[in-house]
Structure 1
């Protein structure tokens, strides 16, 4: 698996999980959902940052954009292309 493929997957999981966390917060606020999605989002966020930093030919801009929560992976991907 290439680093760009891993970054695409991590960015998708990060964005989806933060959307679901906000949806849970704004509607029913079930603790079980937060307990399951919180660590998932955190792991995807960290994987996004590490993958952006290890991508071949990654510019400094792409590396710093990966730190934006929720959409940082997509911003880094856009900068890498």
Structure 2
């Protein structure tokens, strides 16, 4: 399945999983190395989710604001975008759009 929302889908999943790792680490063993490694990954995924939601052709300001919610914003924005409409065709040529041209000649009315 190829779509223009694949980066948002991936970053939303990384954002959610990294938040879960951070919370489990904080509530159990609280290893600083895990937090130091997972924290920046979570932050980058969060920022990437915001920009991916911002660039989506069906996105709105509200979708971008929803994407800015830490931890779950990427998933919520993806849900809003899936309700808004289908993803734009990917650049790898999987989806072909055909345009039907009218049969009129340039001078005909």
Alignment TM-score, normalising by the size of structure 2: 0.71
Structure 1: runs of 5+ lacking an equivalent:
none
Q: What residue in structure 2 maps to residue 50 of structure 1?
A: 51
Asked if 1:41 is matched to 2:42, the reply is yes
Give 1:1-81 correspondences, 5 Å limit: 2-81=3-82
* Aligned residues: CA RMSD: 1.1
Q: What is the alpha-carbon distance in structure 1 between the residues aligned to residue 4 and residue 25 of structure 2? A: 31
Tell which deviates more after alignment, 11-20 or 56-65. Answer: 56-65
Q: What is the alpha-carbon distance in structure 2 between the residues aligned to residue 28 and residue 66 of structure 1? A: 30
Cα deviations across residues 33-64 of structure 1 (Å, max 9, x unaligned)? 00110000000000000111011121222111
Q: Is the 8 A contact 1:10 1:45 kept in 2?
A: yes
Q: Is the 8 A contact 1:61 1:79 kept in 2?
A: no
Q: What is the alpha-carbon distance in structure 2 between the residues aligned to residue 18 and residue 7 of structure 1? A: 16
Structure 2: runs of 5+ lacking an equivalent:
83-109
Q: Which has the higher helix share?
A: 1
Count of aligned residue pairs for this structure pair: 81
Q: What is the alpha-carbon distance in structure 1 between the residues aligned to residue 75 and residue 35 of structure 2? A: 23
Tell which deviates more after alignment, 48-57 or 12-21. Answer: 48-57
Q: What is the alpha-carbon distance in structure 2 between the residues aligned to residue 4 and residue 58 of structure 1? A: 11
More RCO (CA 8 Å, sep 6+): 1
Alignment TM-score, normalising by the size of structure 1: 0.94
